[in-house]
Each structure stands twice: as structure tokens, then as C-alpha cells.
Amino acid sequence: MILTEHGVYLRERVLELARAGVPFSDRTIKKNLFSAVARATYAVADIIAPVCSYNATWERFYGVPDDRIMVIYNGVDERRFDDRNFRPERPTVTAMVRIDPLKDIETLVASAPFVRERFPDVVFDIWGPIHDEAYNRQVVELVGVLGLEECVRFRGSTSDPAAAYAEASVVALSSISEGFPYSVIEAMMCAKPVVATDVGGAREAIGECGTVVPPKRPQRLAEALCDMLARPEEAVLVGKRARERALELFTLSGCLASYRALYAEVASAVPVGARA
Amino acid sequence: MSDDRDAFEPFERREHAVESAARTIVALSRRDRFGIGWRPKGVDEVAILLESLGYSPEVVAELWYPDLFALARDVSTAVNRYVTDEERREPPTLDWFTQTCRDYAIGSLYSAPWIVAVIGLAIFGASLWSSLSTPLHLATAIALGVYAAQIVSGFFSQGIARRLTFYFLQANDSLMAWTVRRFVAAGLLTTAVVSAGVFAGLAAFVGYSDALLSALFCAGTAIFQLALAPLYTLRRFTWIVALAILATAITGGTFVFIFHRHVDVPWEPATLAVEVGLLGAAILASTMSWLARRAARSGAPVPPALDSIVRSTFPYALFGALYFTSILIDRIAAGIAAANGRGFAYASAYELGADIALLAILPVVVVINVMLEALPRRILKGAEGAIRDLEKFDRSMLRFYGWGILAVATATLFAVLLGEVVGPRMILSARLGTIGDAALSLAVLRVAIPAYGLVMLGLLNTQLLFFLSRPRAPVIGTAAGTIAALATCGWALAVHLSAEAMVGGLLASALTFTAITTVAAVRTMRRFSYSYYAAY
């Protein structure tokens, strides 16, 4: 059995429980249930394939030995996410996220006034479906409270994310928990500079080709965004380097080849009689 | 000197950072309305929150921690400190009726196994099976085993309760585990010795099979009672109710579906004893493993001297053993009377009357638990007053005690009426051998209910005195009660009175025990503030 864990299951469930405000007894029961599911799955899996090295630290904490962990990075299609060499007229900060508390869009919205102070015509484009209706209302309310209706635009889902990335001056991610964020490597593949919070595998993905900031720090996020927007030429160079890194490490073909090799290796270790 | 201070600065900074992280987590829990009682539990949850707050590997390394989890370990300790402070708030004030209902519900949980067993066995149609549908020699063996078990478990349950409560209120997991391990080990050893003694003592008179049955009931019952003792003290009511349901379902199911409501040979009831014992052992093992896991997280304990623990808990344990002895003597004497000079035989009719009386007295038990639930609130209210208010506080506590006596008396009266209405029907439906037996059961029932009511008042006194660390009067009360029961029953046996007369022993024991503890309780409650401060 091969377990591919895109986030860290237990970590995300605990954050959900924390936010949901469930009574203590429910929370304890649910946490124990989730914990039992996660630990049982770790125990029976032959190989656990996290999508970044950072997540492996959590799996080790939950008792998985090193020799059963094999990191395989996510990959994206380099033909679909291409470098369109497009520079938007207005400074544009793009986020490609579902509207969900784990993505902490409030922090991104809260950073907007700071950015707007230096770039009055800046626009924040938030792409992605609504995953949590209550949280969406909360974020929209925050936009109203901060008077950002002209600055922050909720663009909804898109079937052509590459086009959305192309319109960006810089791509932002403000999550409080991540596995190995697709939006980061897609943006990198599209040759866009990225500013992301330092959670999960974000730092590992970005390397030297972008900026990481602590989560839940709107001002720090704003500073990093302003830094990119203030030096557009350099931002373009950062974007080019990001695509080179993505082509080297995060291609879909590379990812699939790694999984195929892993499946073959595990399958060859299983006795013939057990395969039926 | 200044260099020394500089050298310590990084450590101080790190300590401040840990405290700050803990405060942030607690504050965040409040601000985000994480829910009533939501707090990070365990190192992993703290690590998750820290990570979401931006404690990246770089930040963690700056604080000289090898990884996030090492930081989380220290922060989780600090979080507990802040959470404790935050949770020490005044409980919401409820109107007296709601509060009483709430206390009644919580108080009922203490009697949950009893209630569950009664309801469960009634559902199975197996109520009072040992009294009614069992051959006399088996019922005799079972009764002797259960009597011995109650005295043994009474001794250790009280000991565990006293010491464990002390560490439970301090949230001292290490010493809780330490205490339970030692008391349980001693309890099991004593159970084994007493069970072996029961076997050895009876084998020559009743044969090996019945002696073994008696020993198994002694061991099984004692282990199960011993297993429930830590759960009571830790207030794990859900578990207590669940386990009582499980025990009733297993034994009731076996009795109904396997033995078809009738046992004829010793191995059949022995199976039930083994089931109860094994369930008790499983509960003990899981409780001790749970405590050990908690203790492992708290670090190694600094164990107190064992002899000082034994000395401090002995009076309470002695009370437990004497209490059960004092309320069992009449049953044993009734058995001797029923055997007509041939040793001891289970006195079915007498036991039936006494058992129904115990069921009728259940509302009184709950009243006591209501009083005990309300007591800490009363004390808290008094503790907030100034020194000049102490007299007023003492008067209020005496009044509270007076209300307690009145409540117990009222509940006992209710139990007497209940016994009058329901008792005869239950006795008649029990299909006893003769009309004479039914009359005997009814006579016993009529005396036993007020006698047990008095015992309950004595227990209320005892709990109040125990609360104030004054075990002397309850111990003297039960010892004197035991002597009174022995004297009364001894006299009744000497002049060849019938089994029915032995209930006089129960009444004498109850009167003695309650009189002594009431005098002590009144004297203590009149100077409650002094007694309270002297106790702690």
C-alpha cells in the first residue's frame, strides 16, 4: 500500500476543529477518531509519499520511520502552464485559492490597504471557488469594512488558470496550512514571482525564486508584495528563474515518472500470490 | 557580574518567546471563539497552531529548538498554565430549582451502576435471581462470597478515593498513577488472599464446588468494585454508566440466554462471577494504562513515603470495611437463624425484604449526592466573605446541614411509602415458598427501610466529616454500629428468635452509627469555618 499525502491529514482536521468551535467532548472524540485513522493508515502503508520534505517531519512525528518515507513533489503540465510573457497594465496581485479558512484570505485582504498606500491603482484578484460560505461572507465583510471594494475582486472559478496567472504581476498565497501548494508551482511554471506564507512545503517549492513571509502577518505580506511590485524588471527575472526551477523539479511528467517507479518498486516487492 | 547577565540573556529571551507563544495561543483560542473548553490538547495540536501562527523552521531555530515539536512541548506546558488561570472563573448562577435538578442529575450518576443493574436485570427478567431461582446451597455460597468481597472492596475503595482525590484536585497525573498502582496491587493481593481464605474455610463444610463458587464470587465482585473506585474518584461518569450497562448486559445475557433464567450447578453461576471479574480486570488494566500514559507526559513523580500514605488513608479504609460489616451482620445472623443450628444457610425471604428496602432507599442516596454537589459552592461563597462574616457563614453552613437532615428524612419517608406501596407486590410476585416467608420479607422490609434511611443520614454525616478530614467519628460510629449489631443479633440467636428478628441488629447498628456521626457533624458544622481552615 502506498499512501500519498498531499497535506497532513491530521493537521488540517485539527485546524478545522479549532475553528469550528465544537464542544470539548465532540472535539476530543473527533480528534481521536482522525488520529486513529491517520495512525492506522501510516501503520499499514508500505511507503508514505509526502509531497514535500516538510510534511515528512509531521509523518515522522506521528511515528513513521525514515525508510518508509519517499518524497515525491507535485508536478504541473508545463505546456498548459506556460510563460505567456504578459505584463498587466495595473499592478496586480493574484491569488489562486479556494475560499476556505485554511487559506486565510483575511490576511491577504488585510494586507491590501498597506499595498494600496504605495500603489494606489493596485488590484487584488482572488480566483477560486467558494468552499466555505460562512467564511466567504466574513471575507467579503472585511473587504467592505476596509473599503476595498474597488481594489479586491473575487473572480470565482476559472477553467483557464494559466490565463489568470498571466494577468498577475505577482502571485500571493496567504495560507495557514499547506501541503505542497499547487498554486505556487503553477505560478512558478507560468514564470510569475510568488510571495507565500511560510507554511508546509511553500518555502521548499519557492527556493530562491520568490519570497516567504510568516503567516497571519498582513504587514509583512504587504511589504513583500510591495517589494516585488516596486521592481517590476527584477520581478520578471525572478519569474523566469522560478519557471526554470519548476521545469527542473515540478513537471507533471517528472512527478508521474516518480510515482510509476515507486509503484513498480513496491509491486515487485509484493509476493506474486498476494497480487491477485 | 554584567557579563553573567549577558550570558543568560538568550535563555531569558527564549523563555519569554515560549511564554508569549503560549499566551498567543490562549488569546487566539478566545478571539476565534474556538468553542467552550476548546484548548490545544497534546504536543501535536500545539505544534499545529504554532505552525499556523508562523513559527517556521527558521523562527524555531532562532529560539534554539531542534524542531517545531520540541518548541511545542515547552509551549504546551506554558499553555496549560494560562488556561488554568483563565478557567478559574465563577460558575454561572442558576436559580435554586435548576441548580437542584442539575445537582440531582449529577448525584444520580454516582448511583448509576446500581440503577443500571436494577433496570437491566428487570429487563432481562432476572431481578433478585440469586434470592429466588437458585438452589439454596448455591445461593449460600454466592452470598458468603459477595459479603467478603464487599468488605474487602469497601476497605480499598475508600482508601483509593481518599488519596486519589487529593492528587486529582492537584492534577498530579504522576502521583495519581503511582497511588492507583499501589492501592490496586494491594487490593488485588488482599482479594486473592481473602478468596483463598473463603475457599479454604468453606471447603470442609460445603464441598469443593460450592467453596470454589464462593471464592470466585468473592474475587469477581471485589475486582469489579475495585475497578470502579478510581473511575468514581476521577468522575468518569460516562465510563461508569457504560461499564455498568456492559456488565449488566453480559451477566444478564448469560443468565437469560445461556442458563434460561435458572442455575442448577455451581459452574453456571461461577461463569457469571468470572465474567464480572474479567470485566473488572479489563477496566483496571485500561484505567491504569490510561493513567500511566498521562503520567508519562508529566515526568517522573517524586513519590511520597508509602507508610505515610498508608497511615493517612487507613482510617478511611477502615471505615469502608466496618461500614459494610455493620450492615451485613444482620443478614449473616438471619442466615444462621434460617439454618436451624446447622451453620449458615442463605435466608431468601430475609434477603428479599432487605434487598427491596435497599432499592426503595435509592432516592435518599441521590439526596445525599445533591448535598455534596452543593457543598463546594456554599464554601466558595463563604470563603469570599470577610473575617467578620465568619459567624454568619457558620450559621449558614449549620442551616445547610439542617436542610440536609430534613431532605434525608423526607426522602426516607417517601421511601417508606414507596416500600408500602410497591414492596408487598414485589414480595408476592417473587413466588416465595410459603405465605410465612412473604410475611417475613414484608416485616423485614418495613424495618429495613427506616434503618437504611438512618444509615444514609450517617453517610451524609460521614461525607461531611471526611470532607473536613475528620474520619474519627465515622470510624467510631461504624465500629460501635458493628458491635451493636453483633450484640443485638447475638442475643436474638441466643434466645432462638426467628430470622425476622435479626433486622433489629440492622436497626441497632444504624441508630448507633447515625447518632455518633450526627453529634460529631453538628459540632463540626457549628464551627465550620474553623474546621475547614484546620482541615486544609
For A57, phi then psi, to 5°, come to -65, -35
Examine the pLDDT at A275 and tell me if it is beyond 60: no
Point out the residue among A14, A24, A199 whose CB comes nearest to the CB of B37.
A24
Contact A216 B44 (CB under 8 A): no
Selection from A159, A165, A169, A199 nearest residue A185 by Cα: A165
**A47 & A176 share domain:** no
**A241 & A259 share domain:** no
3 state SS of A126: strand
Examine the pLDDT at B1 and tell me if it is beyond 60: no
pLDDT in tens, B354-402: 888 888 888 788 788 788 888 877 777 776 666 677 788 888 888 989 9
pLDDT in tens, A97-139: 999 888 899 999 999 999 999 999 999 999 999 988 889 999 9
- Å from B8 to nearest chain A CA? 28
- Report chain B's mean pLDDT, rounded to a whole number: 82
User: Is residue B290 less than 8 Å (CB to CB) from chain A?
Assistant: no
Examine the pLDDT at B92 and tell me if it is beyond 80: no
**Predicted pLDDT at B87:** 47
**For residues B391-414, b (16+ Cβ closer than 10 Å) or e, as one string?**
eebbebbbebbeebbebbbebbeb
Alpha carbons B64 and B52: distance in angstroms, whole number = 20
Top-confidence residue, B168 or B492: B492
Alpha carbons B412 and B363: distance in angstroms, whole number = 8
**A20 & A126 share domain:** no
Residue A232 covered by a domain = yes
The residue-averaged pLDDT of A6-27 equals 73
Alpha carbons A115 and A122: distance in angstroms, whole number = 7
3 state SS of A24: helix
A interface with B, Cβ–Cβ < 8 A, is 10-11, 14-15, 17-24, 27-28, 31, 54, 57, 61-62, 176-177, 197-199, 203, 212, 214-217
**Predicted pLDDT at A148:** 92
- What percentage of chain A carries pLDDT values higher than 70? 95
Alpha carbons B156 and B162: distance in angstroms, whole number = 10
Residue A12 covered by a domain = yes
**Predicted pLDDT at B86:** 46
Examine the pLDDT at B97 and tell me if it is beyond 90: no
**A122 & A164 share domain:** yes
Examine the pLDDT at B249 and tell me if it is beyond 80: yes
Which of B26, B30, B45, B290 would best serve as a mutation to test chain A binding (most A beta carbons within 10 A)? Answer: B45
Cβ-Cβ contacts under 8 Å, A11 against chain B? 48, 51
pLDDT in tens, A144-194: 999 998 899 999 999 899 999 999 999 999 998 888 899 999 999 999 999
Point out the residue among A11, A28, A54 whose CB comes nearest to the CB of B48.
A11
3 state SS of A23: coil
Lowest-pLDDT range of A86-90, A94-98, A198-202, B133-137: B133-137
Reported as type and span, the H/E element at residue B383 is helix B362-383
Cβ-Cβ contacts under 8 Å, B54 against chain A? 197-198, 214-217
Examine the pLDDT at A198 and tell me if it is beyond 50: yes
**A220 & A114 share domain:** yes
Alpha carbons B42 and A36: distance in angstroms, whole number = 15
Selection from B409, B359, B399, B408 nearest residue B378 by Cα: B399
Selection from B471, B507, B494 nearest residue B311 by Cα: B471
The residue-averaged pLDDT of A46-56 equals 88
Cβ-Cβ contacts under 8 Å, B32 against chain A? 18-19, 21
Top-confidence residue, B130 or A5: A5
Point out the residue among B33, B45, B67 whose CB comes nearest to the CB of A14.
B45
Which of B56, B67, B294 would best serve as a mutation to test chain A binding (most A beta carbons within 10 A)? Answer: B56
- pLDDT band, very low/low/confident/very high, at A142 (cuts 50, 70, 90): very high
For A111, phi then psi, to 5°, come to -80, -20
- What percentage of chain A carries pLDDT values higher than 90? 50
Cα–Cα separations (whole angstroms), residue B437 to A116, A177, B266, B427, B434: 95, 75, 25, 9, 5
Point out the residue among A15, A28, A216 whose CB comes nearest to the CB of B48.
A15
**A268 & A234 share domain:** no
Cα–Cα separations (whole angstroms), residue B398 to A150, A189, B392, B519: 71, 80, 10, 13
**For residues B418-439, b (16+ Cβ closer than 10 Å) or e, as one string?**
bbeeebeebbeebebeeeebbe
**Predicted pLDDT at B385:** 67
- Å from A254 to nearest chain B CA? 28
The residue-averaged pLDDT of A36-62 equals 87
Tracing cell 427501610 back to the chain, one arrives at B449
- pLDDT band, very low/low/confident/very high, at B32 (cuts 50, 70, 90): very low
Residue A81 covered by a domain = no
State which residues form the domain around A140: 92-249
Written as one letter, the residue type at A136 is N
Residue A87 covered by a domain = no
ipTM, 2 decimals? Answer: 0.76
Cβ-Cβ contacts under 8 Å, A21 against chain B? 32-35, 38
Contact A31 B41 (CB under 8 A): yes
Residue A28 covered by a domain = yes
Alpha carbons A167 and A190: distance in angstroms, whole number = 10
Contact A19 B41 (CB under 8 A): no
Long-range contacts of B55-64 (CB under 8 A, 24+ apart): B55/B21, B56/A198, B56/A199, B56/A203, B56/A212, B56/A214, B57/A54, B57/A203, B58/A198, B59/A214, B63/B14, B63/B17, B63/B18, B64/B10, B64/B14
pLDDT in tens, B15-27: 888 888 888 887 7
pLDDT in tens, B268-280: 888 888 998 999 9
Residues forming a β-bridge with A71: none
- What percentage of chain B carries pLDDT values higher than 90? 27
Residue A186 covered by a domain = yes
Cβ-Cβ contacts under 8 Å, A214 against chain B? 54, 56, 59
Examine the pLDDT at A82 and tell me if it is beyond 60: yes
The answer to whether the CB of A260 falls within 8 A of the CB of A90 is no
Cβ-Cβ contacts under 8 Å, A31 against chain B? 41, 45
Count of domains forming chain A: 2
- pLDDT band, very low/low/confident/very high, at A230 (cuts 50, 70, 90): very high
**A24 & A120 share domain:** no
Examine the pLDDT at B121 and tell me if it is beyond 70: no
Q: What chain A residue is nearest to B47 in terms of C-alpha separation?
A: A11
**A68 & A108 share domain:** no
Each domain of chain B, given as residue ranges in start order, spans 2-87, 108-304, 307-536
Examine the pLDDT at B323 and tell me if it is beyond 70: yes
Q: What chain A residue is nearest to B69 in terms of C-alpha separation?
A: A61
| Residues in Cβ contact with B292 at an 8 Å cutoff, skipping those fewer than 6 apart | B177
User: Is residue B61 less than 8 Å (CB to CB) from chain A?
Assistant: no
Contact B41 A212 (CB under 8 A): no
Examine the pLDDT at A143 and tell me if it is beyond 50: yes
pLDDT in tens, B510-529: 999 999 999 999 998 888 88
**A110 & A237 share domain:** yes
Q: What chain A residue is nearest to B36 in terms of C-alpha separation?
A: A23
Size of interface A-B (CB pairs under 8 A): 70
Point out the residue among B33, B48, B56 whose CB comes nearest to the CB of A21.
B33
**A111 & A136 share domain:** yes
Residue A109 covered by a domain = yes
Examine the pLDDT at A58 and tell me if it is beyond 70: yes
User: Is residue B51 less than 8 Å (CB to CB) from chain A?
Assistant: yes
Examine the pLDDT at B483 and tell me if it is beyond 90: yes
pLDDT in tens, B393-405: 888 888 989 998 9
Assign 3-state DSSP to chain B and report helix, strand, coil percentages, each to 5.
Answer: 85, 0, 15
Cβ-Cβ contacts under 8 Å, B38 against chain A? 17-18, 21-22, 24, 27
Assign 3-state DSSP to chain A and report helix, strand, coil percentages, each to 5.
Answer: 55, 15, 30
**A179 & A219 share domain:** yes
C-alpha cell at B319: 471505615
Alpha carbons A272 and B355: distance in angstroms, whole number = 67
SS (H, E, C) A134-156: HHHHHHHHHHHHCCCCCCEEEEE
What CATH number is given to the structural domain containing A145? Answer: 3.40.50.2000
The residue-averaged pLDDT of B323-344 equals 87
Examine the pLDDT at B298 and tell me if it is beyond 50: yes
Alpha carbons B47 and B51: distance in angstroms, whole number = 6
**Predicted pLDDT at B7:** 65
Written as one letter, the residue type at A250 is F
User: Is residue B58 less than 8 Å (CB to CB) from chain A?
Assistant: yes
- What percentage of chain B carries pLDDT values higher than 70? 85
- Å from B44 to nearest chain A CA? 8
Sign of CA dihedral B55, B57, B59, B64: positive
Report how far Cα B329 is from the mean position of its chain's Cα atoms: 22
- DSSP letter for B91, please: P
Residue A148 covered by a domain = yes
Alpha carbons B376 and B313: distance in angstroms, whole number = 22
- Report chain A's mean pLDDT, rounded to a whole number: 88
| Residues in Cβ contact with B195 at an 8 Å cutoff, skipping those fewer than 6 apart | B145, B148, B215, B216, B218, B219, B222
Point out the residue among A17, A23, A216 whose CB comes nearest to the CB of B53.
A216
**A245 & A256 share domain:** no
